[in-house]
Chain A
Amino acid sequence: MLSAQVGVLDQVDGSCKLQCGETSVICSVTGPVEPKARQELPSQLALEIVVRPCRGVPSTREKMLEDQIRGVVTPILARYMYPRQLAQICCQVLESGEPEEQYSGKELSACINAVFLALVDAGIGLLASVSCVCLAITGDNEQIQINPSQANLIKSTSTHVLALQLGAGAKKVENVLLLESYGAFDEESMLQVLHSGEMACMETALELRKVIEHKIREDFIWR
């Protein structure tokens, strides 16, 4: 389902191209670099996050994606290590895999995973690892689809994006970094979503770890 390569761009400090089902994004991280005066934070790393849509120009939809990514990335970064510096994170959506006017969940989950890998690739200090999945509930029997296909997404009654902060080798959930749900659902089904989302996040995290493992093996091939 998920495939990713890191280090695909050579002009930036870290990069990642990630494909998750029908959605694919490319993400670059530049930093730590010198910020503009208005971005500078006296004791912490400042973040500049840009999301570009797969077609057309960015709008409020991309602004909200940027805000959501910021909410997930900020707590996992060791920001105190880079006072008065800046990291630029740029995501370009290559394939949306969903009707853009109505949905953004699949793009969001792909972006968050890609940003995480690109941050690792850039060597910026992280406090924890994160993984993200998109879920949809379809049909009368409330079947939960993990990383739903476009057809399932359109049929769904509610969509959820779950990003978890994971520790202990991606085996322990430390916090819910983001849960954003739209549609019609009840408490019961949301708790179901949290439950199966947790499993899916751990699986995704293992995939992401494999990518990182592979990268490290490649990086130290001369040893």
Chain B
Amino acid sequence: MNISDRRRILGPSNAKLLTFDKSGPVEIEPISSSSVPNSTSMYIENGLICNANGSSYLEVTGSTSEADRTLMLTSVYGPRPSRGAFNAKATLSVQFKEVTLEKIPAGELKELCNFLSNVFNAVINLERYPKSGIDVFLSLIHSSNGSQLYELESIISTCVNGITLALIDAGIEIFDTVSAGIYEKHIVAFVKNGTEIVGFWKGKDSASESEDILSIIEQCKLDYLKNRKAMVEYLVRCNDKEDHLQHEVTKQ
């Protein structure tokens, strides 16, 4: 029995994880461009987690193929009282966890969490919640991207959109609906109809290295507008449904 971690049952210490053979021909169905939607599609559901203050579930199907999918469950706890010294502003923490497979190295996760907390520190009205903490938990259920083990970029943009929806579900005040746009490997998080940028993630070793930064931002903005539209439409739809229900109740 492995005793390196006494709080988990980890099995024999001499076991090796399965390694799949990469050299052989892997049966990949040829991607026919006609059947594939050339834009990302998003499935949204809010309030799945009942013991959190707010939560959102996002299912994003990528632009390149059906197999490119990201499933993300975001939950927001707070504002809840924080211990220790007095704070005039709420403190925000972002935790990221892979629920099924763990394949993202810890260093990149840290970087991702930092990026996200920077973005949302700028967007949440922290002054409204003194002496409190707002904790965001991201649970990546599944992410796949064809040949690669994982694609951090599509995960990040899903994170940004997911957190925004969860914050809205929790009723935490934000200045505007943040959403991220993705182009090649770059991600830009916008607010205020694309006039303000709250976060910029520059992808590594991307093909568009030589491209002008402004044109990258323009491209991201197009994606941002589309994402934001989907999110707002969902929220309006939910609101209508609620109104409708309330209407029914008052009628009776």
Contacts and interface: CB of A to CB of B under 8 A. Distances in A.
A and B touch in the complex (CB under 8 A): yes
A188 interface: no
Contacts of A63: 7
Contacts of A57: 3, 6
Interface string A35-66: 00000000000000000000011111001000
Contacts of B3: 56-57, 59
B9 interface: yes
Given A60-B6, A101-B1, 13 more contacts: A56-B3, A57-B3, A57-B6, A58-B6, A59-B1, A59-B3, A59-B6, A59-B7, A59-B9, A60-B7, A60-B8, A60-B9, A63-B7
A103 B6 CA distance: 18
Leading 3 A-B pairs by shortest Cβ distance: A59-B6, A60-B9, A57-B6
A63 B7 CA distance: 9
A58 B5 CA distance: 10
Interface residues of A, number: 7
- By secondary structure, the A interface counts as loop
A218 B8 CA distance: 46
A56 B6 CA distance: 11
- Chain B, interface size category, equals under 10
Contacts of B8: 60
Nearest to B6: A59
Contacts, number: 15
A100 to B, nearest CB: 9
- By secondary structure, the B interface counts as loop
10 contacts: A56-B3, A57-B3, A57-B6, A59-B3, A59-B6, A59-B9, A60-B7, A60-B8, A60-B9, A101-B1
Nearest to A59: B6
Contacts of B7: 59-60, 63
Interface string B1-21: 101001111000000000000
Nearest to B1: A101
Interface in B1-60: 1, 3, 6-9
Interface in A53-98: 56-60, 63
Nearest to A60: B9
A171 to B, nearest CB: 42
Interface string B182-212: 0000000000000000000000000000000
A59 B10 CA distance: 11
Contacts of A58: 6
A187 to B, nearest CB: 30
B150 to A, nearest CB: 30
A101 B9 CA distance: 11
Contacts of A60: 6-9
Interface in B203-240: none
B25 to A, nearest CB: 42
Interface in B40-90: none
Interface string A182-223: 000000000000000000000000000000000000000000
Contacts of B6: 57-60
Nearest to B8: A60
A57 B3 CA distance: 8
A11 B9 CA distance: 35
B70 to A, nearest CB: 33
A101 B1 CA distance: 8
